[in-house]
Amino acid sequence: MLNVVVLVSGGGTNLQAIIDAVESGIITNAKITGVISNNKNAYALERASKHGIPGICISPKDYASRAEFNEKFLETVNELQPDLIVLAGFLVVIPPEMTAKYQNRIINIHPSLIPSFCGTGYYGLKVHEAALERGVKVVGATVHFVDEGTDTGPIILQKAVEVEQGDTPKELQLRVMEQAEWKILPKAIDLIANDKVKVEDGRVTIIGGSE
Ligand code: GRF
């Protein structure tokens, strides 16, 4: 049974997709044992509580330095003994000690087809604003392992989504969530929970295919 800890900062729709997938059996062999947020007002914590999942809030704002936060944050994560850490809209930079300790055991959902519209400054609505500004016709989402960079780790799954004429950033964001994020993040967790994801030379192989 894969012990999954989910890190959140906002509304938690990706967390909800994971919770629903576990409860419906789309994700097998896994259990969400904790949710950690840097934002005490994150509705994601409400979603966790409604499903009996322990929620913890720990924010850099409550510490004198980032180094102190990083130490306490890693301690908090370690205490939950995760097999897999899922960043679901988590907006705090992961400490290098953590990416080192949990190599290929932290995954992130990014709302673009990496390597497009990713890296520092590309998060949330900004990603979709940039895609519309560039005039791309296809966008999508990516689930990838987290390494010491920003959106640079090995790619696990991607799913494309059509841009429609006249899309606003909000409309595009919702379509990418509905058609891509909320599908590939649970799928990636199920594949990992059932030992079907292998990483070699920075590239991912899915045993038995990703469908
Ligand atoms: C999503 O768009 C996700 O791709 C990005 O942050 C947003 C989180 O949304 N990483 P939610 O908190 O899961 O609703």
Residues 27-63 pLDDT 10s: 999 999 999 999 999 999 999 999 999 999 999 999 9
What Rg do the C-alpha atoms of the chain give, in angstroms? 16
Which atom from ligand 1 is nearest to the alpha carbon of 90?
10
Q: What is the pTM (predicted TM-score) of this model?
A: 0.97
Closest residue to atom 3 of ligand 1, CA basis:
89
Which ligand 1 atom is the nearest neighbour of the CA of 9? 12
Query: Whole-angstrom Cα distance, residue 121 to residue 199?
Result: 27
Task: Look at residue 23 and tell me whether its pLDDT is greater than 80.
Answer: yes
In order of their start, the domains of the chain are 2-206 (3.40.50.170)
DSSP for 50-102, written as a single string: HTT--EEE--GGGSSSHHHHHHHHHHHHHHT--SEEEESS--SPPPHHHHHHT
Best mutation site among 13, 122, 123 for ligand 1, i.e. most ligand atoms within 8 A of its Cβ? 13
- Binding pocket residue ranges, ligand 1, CB within 6 Å: 8, 10-14, 44, 88-89, 109-111, 124, 177, 181
Nearest alpha carbon to residue 150 among 90, 208, 204, 200: 90
144 is annotated as an active-site residue: no
> 182 C-alpha to center of ligand 1: Å?
10
What residue type is assigned to position 207 of the chain?
Answer: I
Between the alpha carbon of residue 193 and those of residues 56, 69, 208, the distances in Å are 23, 30, 14
| pLDDT surpasses 90 at 98 | yes
For 16, half-sphere exposure in the C-beta direction (CA atoms, 13 angstrom radius) is: 13
